Structure 1
Amino acid sequence: MKRQTALLLLLGFLWSPYLLAQEPYVRIAKIIVDSSQLKEYQALLKEGIATSVKLEKGVLKMYAVYEKDKPNHVTVFETYASKSAYESHIKTTHFQQYKNSTQQMVRSLELIDVVPIIYESKKE
């Protein structure tokens, strides 16, 4: 019995990192910006993303793109270590500053939670 218990404890220890690992939390933000304020919005977005990635351990990746024929249609791909990392992110001073500064520039905002099928990138 002791041997079985020890074996179960060992297996639990070996598998615990896999069982406890959280899936990344991935979200897409689809934004339509007032065309007359596009340059200012892009500058604030760049600053907000750079600050978030630099200062927040739980912010893994952020990419912002715009549609070639509709530059005021912006899509942001956000990857966080966990949902709690995202929840921490939206409470930060720099995110709140971005949100308040761009509020009048944004005509439409759609937030979409997505589930990754595969994450693959080249090793640097």
Structure 2
Amino acid sequence: MIRYIFSTIFIIGILTLISVDSKAQDSITMYRIAKIKVDENQLENYKSALQEQMNAAIKLEPGVLSYTVVADKKDATSITIFEVYANLDAYQSHILTPHFKKYKETVKDMVLSLELIDTDLVVRAKKPNY
């Protein structure tokens, strides 16, 4: 009986977790991860150029929804960006903007490698107003 109760609670928990953001799973929102290796001598310049580009994109482009940028604690030159766009058209429009082109030109000699990974949202949970 106790095993049945725990199994039922586990299944309900999983189903709740899956349904937390089921709308997002069915949306056309584009999620991309960019893994970037930056020249250690250019790291601060890179961060500045990235910040400028992100601020412009968020301010000027309704289809650019969010950026989250993190650095590996063991290697600050390994940067990972989680990008969210309203859809593929918003992304394609974004890469044609003057601020994005300026960013690419500015960082071309700072970036040692770039890997772009298109992803699908599996599940998301967040606190309200976060």
Q: TM-score, normalised by structure 2?
A: 0.77
The runs of 5 or more residues in structure 2 that have no matched partner are 1-22
Find the residue that maps to 2:105 and give its secondary structure. Answer: helix
The runs of 5 or more residues in structure 1 that have no matched partner are 1-17
Q: What CA distance in whole angstroms lies between the structure 2 residues aligned with 1:68 and 1:120?
A: 25
Aligned: 1:44 with 2:40: no
**Whose radius of gyration is greater, 1 or 2?**
1
User: Matched residue pairs, number?
Assistant: 105
Corresponding residue of 2:74: 69
Give how far 1:122 is off: 1.9
Equivalent positions of 1:25-104 (< 5 A) are 25-104=30-109
Identity of aligned residues (%): 42
Corresponding residue of 1:24: 29
Find the residue that maps to 2:78 and give its secondary structure. Answer: strand
C-alpha root-mean-square deviation of aligned residues, in Å? Answer: 1.4
Corresponding residue of 1:106: 111
Q: TM-score, normalised by structure 1?
A: 0.81
Corresponding residue of 1:8: none
Pick the aligned partner of 1:123 from 121, 124, 128.
128
4+ runs deviating over 3 angstroms: none
